[in-house]
Each structure stands twice: as structure tokens, then as C-alpha cells.
Structure 1
């Protein structure tokens, strides 16, 4: 998240990467981004399909996207154009508790209590400004791609995020843009043969912002890993 602390290992990058929700207005060198994306092309891909495609915006094109989606948001629920279910319907434990818990911790870091519905909605709407990031990447692929290729896109996205950390940059993956997928695709000039997967806000983190400092919990490995055949 910072360009003042050197990385010592990949593990260091993984520990330091987080979804940043407050960026400075410092511009990002496009040559630096090009290097990151070129290196990320080494991400694994089944059958070497490399299904990921990305459109990267800054300046006027980025502002045009924010304006276009803001117009849909103003329409209320009728304006939504979900590309897919971001979370499974009928989410059960332990996943529902994890989702609820991280949301509560985020709002607590901002001092927004649960009963302040308006304040929470206003904070959520910051998603659609990229939290002030000067660069927004939209990740998309052909609609013919299936779950294995979506996994490939995730590995590419993770590679990009870790490489950004290495370069002193921060990011925030944002599937919320898929709630207005048709508008995003139309604004980008993408055909209906493409499906939007995610946005990725990119920039320099506002290190002083409380929303970038609260601890994000992770489940113990014993909840995720089933060890078999080990002494």
C-alpha cells in the first residue's frame, strides 16, 4: 500500500495487500501499469486460453463511466442490470457470518452505526467513484467462457494486485460494478458477447484514512484445509 517500505517476499506482498477504500489523487504512471500487466500475463491459464480482457480508464473516460453509472443508480432498483449473482442466494454459515462481520468492521472503522442507514448507503455509493482512485480497470471476458476460465481471471487479477503492491500501489477489487453491467459495457463500447466480471480501483492509498487501517480477519487454515496422510 505504500512506496516507502521495501518488499522482502511474496508473503510480504500478500500480507500487505488489502482492499483499499480511500485513495489519494496522485496520478499513476501508465508505463508502470504496462509493466505490471505484462508480468501478470504469466498468470496460469487452463489450456493457455488466457480469457482475461481488461479496459483501463483514467481522466475523462473514467469520469464518463462514473457519470453513466450514477445515472443508473439514480433510477433505484429499476436501474440495476446485474451480470450475475455476486453472492450466492440463500447464503448459509459460515459464509454469511463472514460477510456480515467484515461489513460491520468496515462501518465501525468509519464510525457509522448500524442504525445510520443513510450514512451506510452513502459509504456504499463511494464504490462507484472507485473510492477516489485515479485509475479504474474493468475485467471482462467472452460469454462463452465457463467457471474454469473465470478462475483464470481471478488468478490474473490476484497477480495484478500483488504486482501493484510491489510497485507501491494499492487496489480494490470491485464486483459491485457488475450490478450495472450493461451500462459499463455500453460505456466501454463492448458488445453483448462480453460479460463484465469486476472492476479494480488502482492508485496510491491514503494511509491516514481509518477505512484503510482496520484489521480484516481471515479464517484459520484448519477451517479451509483438510490434512490427510500427514504424520
Structure 2
């Protein structure tokens, strides 16, 4: 095992927001998921479920989501609380810093609500990626399943890098779970947690130049005993 490569992959991972339309073979996607399935889970319960789409299925779903989003969403909403009801520091400042950096790269000035809305809508076009992944857990699972799924998601991102691909995890899909559920035959017994775009990152996409900062270890960790 090359430890240096593992560390390098952690620093290389990013949320790509622009992809080439280069197809990704089904066997590659299956291999990525097989690698990610080595993620830890409570008592090895492996609570994650994945629904992958490409080609005409991906295109039909994207068209339906974009049409619904452009029409105002018609009351659709996610099944769980994702963001806090009110932001406070230091999280608010970090969120604003990210938004300023991203929209700056895209040439969208502050206050340009229409431009921001168009960029947000690109979520539902998978940012141009040829593969869409959707992640669910069964209803009635405890908090452990959500933690396990988070670790699995990160493993998918790392495994994708190992295959020369990049990703963007997107909670935005959860709002339209009913549409996604119907088109991908996701049973009502499962909660759609999020989606993910997968493919070859577009080097010409301005948003892909975004590099986010991280807090120093001293800001979030406490050490005792040495």
C-alpha cells in the first residue's frame, strides 16, 4: 500500500461542477461501488443502497427534474432536515466564503439571483456528467446508518479518483425524491438521501478551479495525554 498516494487522493478530491460527456462503462461504475463497499459500518450492516443511471435513463430523469425545478418545484421537498433552521458562526462565514469564491469564478455578481438560480439548476443536469448515482437507506434505520452512508459516500469519491474520475455529491436531488423514486423504481421503504454526479471533469469549466480551505487542526481538535 502506497500511503503517499492515499494522502494525495484526500487532497485531490473536490466537488467537480462541470463534466465532459465522455461515457463511463457500467463495469467501471460497478468496480467503484465494489471498492467503496469496503467502508466500515455498524456491525457490518452495510445499510447503503445505490441506484445508478446513464444514457437515455439519465437524460429522461434530468429533463424531468429540470422541467420541475424551472416551474418552481410545485411543493416538492426532501424527507429530512438537512440544513439548520438558522445559520450561526463560524458556519455562516464559511458558507459565504464558499459562495463568493464559486460565483466569482463563474462571473456571477453578488445579488444576481437569476444567475445563481441557473447555476443551481445545473445540479439537475448532473453538471454534464454521464452518470448519476443516488443513495438511499431503509426507513427505520437509526443514526448509525446515516453515519455509515457518509463513510460510504466518501469511499465512492476516493474510488472514483482511483479510476481517473471525479464526483460531486449533491443533496439537491433529495427535494425531488418522488420523481427520482418513480423513474428509478426506488421503493417507498427507502429514503433518498442524496445523489452524486460521476464522470471525467471538464478542465475548461471555471467552477472546477475552486479550491476550498480547511481549518487548522488546532481549531477543531483537542489533544490530551501527551
Shorter-chain TM-score: what band?
Answer: over 0.9
Q: Aligned equivalents of 2:65 and 2:24: distance in 1? A: 23
How many pairs does the alignment contain?
224
Q: Report the Cα offset of residue 202 of structure 1.
A: 0.2
The residue aligned with 2:150 is 154
Q: Aligned equivalents of 2:59 and 2:181: distance in 1? A: 15
Runs of 4+ in 1 over 3 A off after TM superposition: none
Among 68, 72, 80, which residue is 1:72 paired with? 68
Q: Report the Cα offset of residue 214 of structure 1.
A: 2.2
Q: Aligned equivalents of 2:67 and 2:211: distance in 1? A: 34
Normalised by the size of structure 1, how large is the TM-score? 0.92
- After superposition, the CA RMSD in angstroms is 1.5
Within 5 Å, give how 1:1-231 maps onto structure 2.
Answer: 8-230=4-226
Q: Aligned equivalents of 2:195 and 2:183: distance in 1? A: 14
Structure 1 unpaired stretches of 5+: 1-6
Q: Report the Cα offset of residue 8 of structure 1.
A: 4.8
Is the deviation greater in 157-166 or in 92-101?
Answer: 92-101
* Mapped contact 1:83–1:180 kept (Cα < 8 A): no
Q: Aligned equivalents of 1:53 and 1:34: distance in 2? A: 13
Normalised by the size of structure 2, how large is the TM-score? 0.94
